[in-house]
Copies of this chain bind each other. A is one copy, B any other.
Amino acid sequence: MAENRHSALGLNDEQILEMYKTMLLARRIDERMWLLNRSGKIPFVISCQGQEAAQVGASFALNREQDYVLPYYRDVGVVLTFGMTAKDLMLSAFAKSEDPSSGGRQMPGHFGQKKNRIVTGSSPVTTQVPHAVGIALAGKMEGKDLVTFVTFGEGSSNQGDFHEGANFAGVHKLPVIFMCENNKYAISVPIEKQLSCERVSDRAIGYGMPGVTVDGNDPLEVYKAVKEAADRGRRGEGPTLIETVSYRLTPHSSDDDDRSYRAPDEVAEAKTKDPIITFGAYLKEAGIMDDKLEKEINDEVMNIVNEATEYAENAPYAPPEYAMKHVYAEQ
């Protein structure tokens, strides 16, 4: 039996099974969306595949009753952990009126749900970074104990808003966790054409905050880093920059064909480190999951996905004139 690494982190068996289940649910929802897209039922998908470990590991390290998350478009694992359901996500994929993120106004991947403190997001990348800083500032002003958690891709870490937001958080020692999900590509542009530093986390020192790079395929390593960052934040010691290194296992989106810019070998090689597989293997080696339990979890997850799909497919669209609503507060 393999070394038990999770107990040392204060995680019990039940919790890490929950983590695994959430990762798997994220994966299966994503896979279903591709099928729906390829069969012409939904116009667009953008994937979490390959990043579930980072997303779920990180979110589990937060306080789900009070912290705020500002996810980017791939963060299915984050929003599931924070209370969004498969049904919610499918409603968004089908652009139906009940979609909690936007009522079918935004593309899938533009998450938002106030009751779960999932902050509404947009398409222009990195604009959420200063928002996370502002929420942390507000929390501090109001004497709250909350931490904000914001994610973005490594390409997006080149936007001015990353720099300006990180520096603001550093100066005001705000409890913000900046997590860069480095998946090695920004659409077709490989990391060496995006950044000239060795690690995205090398940027942390420029904002007077600690920076760490962790294996994004290992949810426990990510959990540990985020937990430490959250603790630091709550202790009033300011922000942290965390880089999770993994790989984007799908094309950028359903509109992309990644064969024009990366070799099949490279993708195949990355798939051997697929966190669903490697974390599943860990659970088995640690004696927490056997084949039977694995199948049960899989079936349970597939049921959830099937039900969500069916519900969403049959749900109504918002009526046309509803487009006129909510530009401003209603008087």
Contacts and interface: CB of A to CB of B under 8 A. Distances in A.
22 contacts: A158-B163, A158-B167, A159-B163, A160-B160, A160-B161, A162-B163, A163-B164, A170-B195, A171-B192, A171-B195, A171-B196, A195-B208, A196-B207, A196-B208, A196-B238, A197-B206, A197-B208, A198-B208, A202-B205, A203-B206, A205-B205, A205-B206
A54 B209 CA distance: 29
Contacts of A167: 158, 195-196
A114 interface: no
A167 B162 CA distance: 12
A161 B171 CA distance: 19
Contacts of A173: 196
Interface residues of A, number: 26
A194 interface: yes
B171 A164 contact: no
A133 to B, nearest CB: 12
A259 interface: no
Given A158-B164, A203-B206, A171 B198 contact: no
Interface in A178-224: 192-198, 202-203, 205-209
A238 B167 CA distance: 25
| Residue among A163, A195, A203 with most chain B CB within 10 A | A163
Interface of A: 158-164, 167, 170-171, 173, 192-198, 202-203, 205-209, 238
Nearest to A203: B206
Contacts of A159: 160, 163-164
A158 B166 CA distance: 10
A197 B205 contact: yes
Q: Which 8 A-B pairs have the closest CB atoms?
A: A160-B160, A170-B196, A196-B208, A163-B163, A203-B206, A171-B196, A197-B208, A202-B205
Contacts of A238: 196
A225 B103 CA distance: 57
Contact of A209 (B161, B196, B205): B196
A189 B120 CA distance: 33
Nearest to A167: B158
Nearest to A164: B160
A167 to B, nearest CB: 5
Contact of A207 (B164, B192, B197, B208): B197
A147 to B, nearest CB: 18
Contact of A171 (B162, B163, B193, B209): B193
Given A163-B163, A202-B205, A206-B202, A170 B158 contact: no
A196 B237 CA distance: 12
Nearest to A194: B171
Contacts of A196: 167, 170-171, 173, 207-209, 238
